[in-house]
Amino acid sequence: MKKVNPKSGLFKVALLSISLLLMIAPQISSVLPLMYSSFPDVSRAAVETLSTIPNIGIVVGLILSPFLIRLIGTKSTVITGLIIALVAGTYPIYANGYTMILVSRFLLGAGIGLFNSLAVSLLSKFYHGDELSTMLGFQSSMGSVGAAIFSFCVGLLAVNGWHATFSIYLVSLPILILFAWVVKLPSNQSQADDAAPVAKEENKLNASVIEIAILMFFMYVFFMPMSFKLPQLATSQKIANVSQIAFVSSAVTLIGIPVGMCYGLLKKKLQDLILPIGLFLQVAGLLAIAYAANLPMLFAAVIVLGAGFGLSVPYIFNWLDEAAPKNSVNFATTIALILVNIGCAASPTIINWLGATFGAGTPRSDMSMAGIGMAILFCYSLVHYFQVRKKHN
């Protein structure tokens, strides 16, 4: 096949398509109630683990990814991850044993983890400057697009039973074919290098990468209450019922799509002011959720929170790309994503502890603690902004 130009729409679609799968693992969580009766000898908590176990797999995949890249190459690592995601993700369609389904869910996460960091770091191999910022914005949106599409598909498939909902993971097949067929490594690498394209990659860190990774850890710790505290808060305050909460929660995902698509233009206009703006909007959104008095106020607060999150994430990855040591972008991205997944997993424990220690231990006080924590990150971002501005002057 004739080599596809990285500037072409087809190439960009192929490169971005793998990001559709980054948020696909937990999308079957809405059908967990349908699974309880299928595993009568298993506790409800264990059944719910089927939704969270992929995060542990993602961390393992992220750790293994650099080693696999050195062994078989960047492109082959992505393809391997897609094959694992396809096989493991669709296994529950025809399986009934809890243990093997649990293993398959872990392997699904591991497969996604193999290409999770590459979904971001590969962009810097083909694009630079404003074009890279634009592509990072699209990459951030793709996860939201995938989450929205597959969540909708799960709702449609659920009428056929919980087994059928795992059909969403069949999307890995066309993405696998498209990526394998279209994406070629940069031309400055020889065909021999394609078998081990990261022979020149180095696993180095610097203070800036560690700083960014810690920032991402805490940002996800304070953002995640949006998913696990919002239902409890809204029902306890009699603001919304379960179906309304599901609709409100989807707004976070959906608002990330237009925000991500506009990110390149906004970055060009606002430069490093993007991060303080993004974190301020998250602070405002979390506190507004905590004290929302009715459904319209709650919906508006969620929109503000989602917009802030959609601005912050691509900026931080852009910053990571610029700050990472030469030839270590993928390793730096891997470290950051490992801390992101640990932050997601640790968020309930940290937020519950903060709420119980410094608040009343209610959903409202817990959400307030998340807002205060995000406010501390906002103050940090202002210091970062003035440091960068001083350096450029």
pLDDT in the model for residue 77: 94
pLDDT in the model for residue 196: 40
Per-residue pLDDT at 95 exceeds 50 = yes
pTM for this entry: 0.72
Given a contact cutoff of 8 angstroms between Cβ atoms, the answer to whether 110 and 84 are in contact is: yes
Distance of CA 27 to the CA centre of its chain: 13
String of DSSP letters for 130-175: HHHHHHHHHHHHHHHHHHHHHHHHHHHHGGG-HHHHGGGGGGHHHH
pLDDT in the model for residue 174: 95
pLDDT in the model for residue 36: 81
Looking at per-residue confidence, does 344 or 88 come out higher? 88
Query: How confident is residue 150, by pLDDT bands cut at 50, 70 and 90?
Result: confident
Per-residue pLDDT at 148 exceeds 80 = no
Distance of CA 296 to the CA centre of its chain: 27
Given a contact cutoff of 8 angstroms between Cβ atoms, the answer to whether 316 and 275 are in contact is: yes
pLDDT in the model for residue 370: 94
Average pLDDT (338-352) is: 82
Looking at per-residue confidence, does 282 or 314 come out higher? 282
Looking at per-residue confidence, does 370 or 149 come out higher? 370
d(C-alpha 247, C-alpha 313), whole Å? 23
Residue type, 100: M
Domains of the chain: residue spans and CATH? 1-201 (1.20.1250.20), 202-393 (1.20.1250.20)
d(C-alpha 11, C-alpha 194), whole Å? 18
Query: How confident is residue 188, by pLDDT bands cut at 50, 70 and 90?
Result: very low
Phi, psi dihedral angles at 24 (to 5 degrees) = -80, -25
Given a contact cutoff of 8 angstroms between Cβ atoms, the answer to whether 75 and 183 are in contact is: yes
The C-alpha R_g of the chain, in whole angstroms, comes to 21
Place of tokens 């070629």: 184
Q: Which of 194-198, 211-215, 245-249, 357-361 has the highest mean predicted lDDT (pLDDT)?
A: 211-215
Q: What is the mean pLDDT of the chain?
A: 84
pLDDT in the model for residue 116: 87
Dihedral angle at the C-alpha atoms of 14, 16, 158, 298, nearest 10 degrees? -160
40: Cβ–Cβ under 8 A, 6 or more apart, which residues? Answer: none
Per-residue pLDDT at 195 exceeds 50 = no
Average pLDDT (193-197) is: 41
pLDDT in the model for residue 172: 94
Per-residue pLDDT at 304 exceeds 90 = yes
128: Cβ–Cβ under 8 A, 6 or more apart, which residues? Answer: none
135: Cβ–Cβ under 8 A, 6 or more apart, which residues? Answer: 12, 15, 16, 123, 127, 264
Q: What is the pLDDT of residues 105-122, one digit of tens each?
A: 999 999 999 998 888 888
Q: What is the pLDDT of residues 35-45, one digit of tens each?
A: 888 998 888 66
String of DSSP letters for 30-94: GGHHHHGGG-TTS-HHHHHHHHHHHHHHHHHHHHHHHHHHHHH-HHHHHHHHHHHHHHHHHGGGT
Q: What is the pLDDT of residues 254-290, one digit of tens each?
A: 787 788 778 878 888 888 899 999 999 999 999 999 9
Looking at per-residue confidence, does 53 or 164 come out higher? 164
Q: Which two tokens stand for residue 348?
A: 């309930």
Element (H, E) at 304: helix 295-323
Query: How confident is residue 201, by pLDDT bands cut at 50, 70 and 90?
Result: low
Per-residue pLDDT at 145 exceeds 50 = yes
Element (H, E) at 353: helix 329-358
118: Cβ–Cβ under 8 A, 6 or more apart, which residues? Answer: 18, 65, 69, 74, 77, 78, 330
Place of tokens 């203070």: 207
Per-residue pLDDT at 199 exceeds 50 = no
